Amino acid sequence: MRLLLVEDEKRMAQALCEILRQEKYDVDHYADGLDGLYAVETGVYDLVILDVMLPRKNGFEIAQEARKKGIKTPILMLTAKSELDDKVTGLDCGADDYLTKPFMTMELLARLRALGRRNINTPDGTLTFGDITLNKDTSMLICGENSVRLSEKELRILEYLIANQGQILTREQLAVKIWGYDSDTEYNNVEVYMSFARKKLNFVKANTEIKAVRGIGYELRYDHV
Ligand code: CA
């Protein structure tokens, strides 16, 4: 899961990044509110953790502006104890949950798991589209009687396409989603992994297809025949 952390306290941010990476989240961190807002608005994250007091734009404003633009990514707001009304304001502005500082790591991780499930998953860790089912816990792609194990990137690609069904995803969006901003991945790699994912779909004899939309990107389609 790609997670965005917007937190300006250096030590806090470092500690959180470390913990979250141990928990296998792919974490991007920004210390500035405006940079954080731009990052949220890309829509590539599965979860967002927002501090309230931030330079240039506070957490409430970030959540509010992102929601206004139709970004549905679950947001967990971190609030200081002194900011008593934060809880109410946080939920009003479009945050999904809040956590008061200081908090226990276990508590944070539990909230994130709950929010992550709320995002696109069914309770049993599976996603479905057309005639295919993805089991994220076992990394299996299932179609009727057939199943095949997916690599981590294949799983992410299909997960992302299913979560955004009905939309065309650009190669850039996919590259950022799968490899992150910092990587030097060339867009060609997206095509390579798309062909891997397609082979897996063929292997399980799925009627669900990854369609290339010339010059734009990719879309998941299902032929009801
Ligand atoms: Ca702060």
Per-residue pLDDT of 204-218, as tens digits, reads 999 999 999 888 899
pTM: 0.58
φ/ψ bin of 91: left (φ > 0), alpha (ψ from -120 to 50), beta (otherwise):
alpha
Please give the distance, rounded to the nearest whole angstrom, from the Cα atom of residue 78 to the centre of ligand 1.
9
Query: What is the predicted pLDDT for the residue at 184?
Result: 63
Contact (CB, 8 A) for 190 and 196:
no
Please give the distance, rounded to the nearest whole angstrom, from the Cα atom of residue 153 to the centre of ligand 1.
34
Please give the distance, rounded to the nearest whole angstrom, from the Cα atom of residue 219 to the centre of ligand 1.
39
Query: What is the predicted pLDDT for the residue at 200?
Result: 97
Q: How many CB atoms lie within 10 A of CB 223?
A: 10
Contact (CB, 8 A) for 96 and 47:
no
CA dihedral 85, 87, 93, 95 (to 10 degrees): 160
Contact (CB, 8 A) for 27 and 5:
yes
Query: What is the predicted pLDDT for the residue at 65?
Result: 95
The tokens describing 7, both together, are 């937190």
Q: How far apart are CA 207 and CA 201, in angstroms?
A: 8
Q: How many CB atoms lie within 10 A of CB 88?
A: 10
- Where the chain has pLDDT below 70, the residues are 81-91, 117-124, 181-188, 224-225
Please give the distance, rounded to the nearest whole angstrom, from the Cα atom of residue 212 to the centre of ligand 1.
43
Query: What is the predicted pLDDT for the residue at 36?
Result: 97
Query: What is the predicted pLDDT for the residue at 176?
Result: 79
Please give the distance, rounded to the nearest whole angstrom, from the Cα atom of residue 32 to the centre of ligand 1.
9
Please give the distance, rounded to the nearest whole angstrom, from the Cα atom of residue 53 to the centre of ligand 1.
4
The tokens describing 152, both together, are 């981590």
Please give the distance, rounded to the nearest whole angstrom, from the Cα atom of residue 20 to the centre of ligand 1.
18
Query: What is the predicted pLDDT for the residue at 225?
Result: 56
